[in-house]
Amino acid sequence: MEYETVDGEEVPAVGLGTWRMSGPTCRNAVATALELGYRHVDTAQSYDNERDVGRAVAVADVDREEVFLTTKVWPMHRTHDDIVDSVHESLARLGTDYVDLLLVHWPNPLASTAEVMGALSDLRQDGATRHVGVSNFDRDQLREARRVSSAPVVTDQVQFHPFEPQRELLDYCQAEDVLLTAYSPLAHGGVMHDHVLTEIGRKYDKSPAQTALRWALQHDGVAAIPKATSREHLKANLDVFDFELTDTEMALVERPSRLQSGLSMLRGRLGV
């Protein structure tokens, strides 16, 4: 496993995303991931699976302190007290005294960014979380969150894959030492039959998915949380640190496409 360092914290470069997982499927995926060597698990209040994630972490043959655990506050919780109360409910469901990273899930135009970030900062001060961050914030929204937060904003978790390279946001994060956490790095399966990724991957005896994940992780300051449930796919997503794409290959893989990005989001919403 490789790590990205931010705010003095070593964050495992590959984690497990759990969107649209629940029940035994979720518990089994998290348990298998931890068995295979994952030490970074992502959930959210809106996923309705915090209890399943927490149970899997609790019974794993891994100390809680070794697992970098993230959850996210649903943006409808927009007042200080609502946010604090919701996070304590999350901790109860997760069966832990703290999370390693607490994010606001989406920007809410009806909420005060200062109040939201103030609540996250207070939760950090009280020990409910070790770090705070945001998710789905664009560059200007991230800049404002950092300006009003008394705690370091260590990451922005966004959709990031070859068809959605987030170049403007990535440049800002790299310049400001903010970790970019890539969700849906496989474009909800959209990379699986891509001819460019297939051809480049063949050179390294890797799948198109592994090639896309390598592309994401080869950027400075990027971690990724691909979703997977089978042992085969979980293992394959870890097996991406033994090869390196050339500069030419990195450029060939990156192909911004509104169509492909839109299809990725649609596949995610439909659960396909």
Question: What is the C-alpha separation between 127 and 183, in angstroms, rounded?
Answer: 26
Residue 3 a catalytic site member: no
Question: What is the C-alpha separation between 135 and 142, in angstroms, rounded?
Answer: 9
Question: What is the C-alpha separation between 214 and 229, in angstroms, rounded?
Answer: 20
- The residue annotated as part of the active site, out of 47, 98, 183, 204, is 47
Question: What is the C-alpha separation between 84 and 73, in angstroms, rounded?
Answer: 9
- In order of 137, 156, 244, the CA distances from 142 in angstroms are 6, 7, 30
Contact, 94 vs 69, CB < 8 A?
Answer: yes
102: three-class secondary structure by DSSP: strand
| Residue 54 CB coordination number (10 Å) | 24
Q: Which helix (H) or strand (E) holds 67?
A: none
**Enzyme catalytic residues:** 47
